[in-house]
Every structure is written in C-alpha cells, then in structure tokens.
Amino acid sequence: MGLKQEFNFREYLTKNIDGYDGKYAQYILMIPVLYDVLCSLLRFTNLPQSLRVDVYLTLGYLYYPDDIYPEEELGPLGFLDDLMLILVVLRKCAIQEEVGIEFIEEHTTGLDYSVNQLLTSDFDKITKENKKLFDELLAVTGMRYYYR
C-alpha cells in the first residue's frame, strides 16, 4: 500500500524564504537551520520529556498553515511568529543542564551567526518590537507560563 509520499519540509521552508530581503530577513533566513536543530533535539536521548513536548509543539506550529501570522498572507515575514516560538524553545533548551547552549551550537553548523547572540539580545529585540504578536503567540501555544 503506497501511503508514504516524500515531502521535504526543510526544502519547503527554504523555497518559501529564498531571496527574502525584507524586515527581519537575517533571522527569517535562519529558519531552515533552526528547523534542523529542532529535529536534532528530538534525536537527543537525554532531552527531558517537557522539552521534547515543546519541540513537537514548535514543529507542529511551524507546519500549521493557519497560524496567527500566516505566510500565505504575509509571505516570508509570516514566519516571524514561527521564528519567535523556535527561539523560545531553544532558549529553554539552552538553560537545561541536560542540553545546554553547547548542544545547540554543535547542531547549528549551517549557521554563520552567534547562537548566544540570537538567543539573547536578538531574541529580546525581536520580541520587544513585536510585543503584541509575541504575547498572542505565547497565549495560543500555552507558553505563557514560561514568560511571567
């Protein structure tokens, strides 16, 4: 029975942001590599169950076409909410003893950028400049508890 059809989600992401040079382009263009990091986390046997749930939630949100900032309407800028959620989860992983920033850095080999800067000052900048969207994202995904 031929139920399995090939679909490369990373390729989909790459095609949908290719050539983007608008607002937050330097960050949005990182999404395929950050997607790879999320997938690597799922293969990490020491990943705590609570973080594993967060990673699956993030992948589902990334895949869901009708999220709160849809790519269909906004083009590549519509990945901004997805980016913020990815960064929330990676920040949570970075502070966990079992995972840590080193693990994330090891799995971002395709990223020519400081992971520490991305998860700290850049994250703060993006979320402050888009506070309303960020607050809605946290509420919709149930991540509000993390940012009280």
- Alpha-carbon Rg for the chain, nearest whole angstrom, is 15
End-to-end CA distance of the chain: 49
pLDDT tens-digit map of 71-127? 999 999 999 999 999 999 999 999 887 888 998 998 888 888 999 999 999 999 999
Extents of the domains making up the chain: 9-147
pLDDT tens sequence across 99-114: 889 989 988 888 889 9
Distances in Å between the alpha carbon of 115 and those of 80, 94, 101?
A: 17, 10, 8
pTM for the model? 0.92
- Decide: helix, strand or coil at residue 22: coil
**Whether the Cβ atoms of residue 63 and residue 74 lie closer than 8 Å to each other:** no
Contact predicate 111/30, CB 8 Å = yes
Taking the C-alpha atoms of residue 36 and residue 110, their distance in angstroms, rounded to an integer, is: 9
pLDDT at 26: 96
Count of all residues that appear for the chain in the document: 148
